[in-house]
A and B are shown apart, each in its own frame.
Chain A
Amino acid sequence: MADEDEYRLRAKFLGWLKRNGGAKHLTTCEKKLRHLGLEVDSTIGLWEQDRITIALSRGDKVVWLKDIEWADEWAKMHDVEVPHHAQSQYLLTKEKLR
């Protein structure tokens, strides 16, 4: 994953959160961020709180994606909105070139 740029990784995180219903426990988000090679502070902490914020659910911290449209724009910009054939062809080509 080291060859992916950080902006695409952030787009993947936002897409992951969106497809998980727009909210996930902070501890789960930390695991996903680690999986992507990102840090909480340099990701969630970076964005404005009216777009993504930490809320409480029964006393637990939950990351809440408030601005879905904004997350959609990230996904579109980095082509991580919906899986499609061209993406698989791109991956195949990339692997062949390695």
Chain B
Amino acid sequence: MSSPGRKDLPKSIEAVLDKPFDGLFGDTAELRVLQEIVADPYSNYTHRELMDLTGLSDPSVRRGIRVLIDHGIIRNMSSARRSPLYRANLDSKKLTALTFLSYASLDERTGSLSMDDAVRRYCDYIPLNVEVLPLAEGSTLVRYKLPDYGKASSKAKGSQAIIGEA
């Protein structure tokens, strides 16, 4: 069925075409909205635009949006109740993790290194709480303060990991 000069899509890509996260979690309305936001977290979306981009009905998009708001992945930036404007929460770790997942799926199919590159780049932006303390003459202690994980893991609060001595 190919037209002259037009190549067929490789079978490995065809198998996952239009499946959110390569079909790893199935294919639901919520996942389609999530995939759209993960694919471009830098744009704003109206309700109508999300319907258009995902091909979903009004109630399905509404359901998807509710889930993403509950998980802190998107926010409504509009103060007008009747015309919400959604934007990804760029501080959401779930959003970042899902971005890595989308790269992982692609990398495993194509042999690319998008996830490795993205992880490296992301690490450049993590503000590390590092202290360099002088010890005895000519030696220093590099101390990395672990983050406070809250009440659930209060043992970790204020603890330190020594990541190097020189």
Which A residues fall within an 8 A CB radius of B? 1, 12, 15-25, 28, 31-32, 35-36, 53-59, 62, 64, 68-69, 72, 76, 80-88, 91
Contact = CB atoms under 8 A, between A and B. Distances in A.
Q: How large is the interface on B (under 10, 10 to 19, 20 to 34, 35 or more residues)?
A: 35 or more
Given A31-B53, A53-B7, A57-B9, A19 B91 contact: no
Contacts of A17: 39
B121 A85 contact: no
Interface string B68-100: 000000000000000000001111100110011
Given A22-B110, A35-B53, A64-B13, A83 B95 contact: yes
A86 B117 CA distance: 18
B52 interface: yes
A45 B49 CA distance: 24
Given A64-B13, A83-B92, A19 B38 contact: yes
Given A12-B40, A24-B18, A32-B53, A83 B6 contact: no
Contacts of A20: 35, 39, 102
26 contacts: A18-B103, A20-B39, A21-B16, A21-B22, A22-B109, A23-B13, A24-B17, A25-B18, A53-B7, A55-B8, A56-B3, A56-B7, A56-B9, A62-B17, A68-B106, A68-B112, A68-B114, A72-B113, A72-B114, A80-B42, A81-B121, A82-B118, A83-B88, A83-B99, A85-B127, A88-B89
Contact of B91 (A57, A59, A85): A85
Nearest to B40: A16
Contacts of A25: 17-18
Interface of B: 1-3, 6-9, 13-14, 16-19, 22, 35, 38-44, 49, 52-53, 55, 88-92, 95-96, 99-100, 102-103, 105-106, 109-110, 112-114, 117-118, 121-122, 125, 127
Contacts, number: 126
Nearest to A84: B125
Nearest to A68: B112
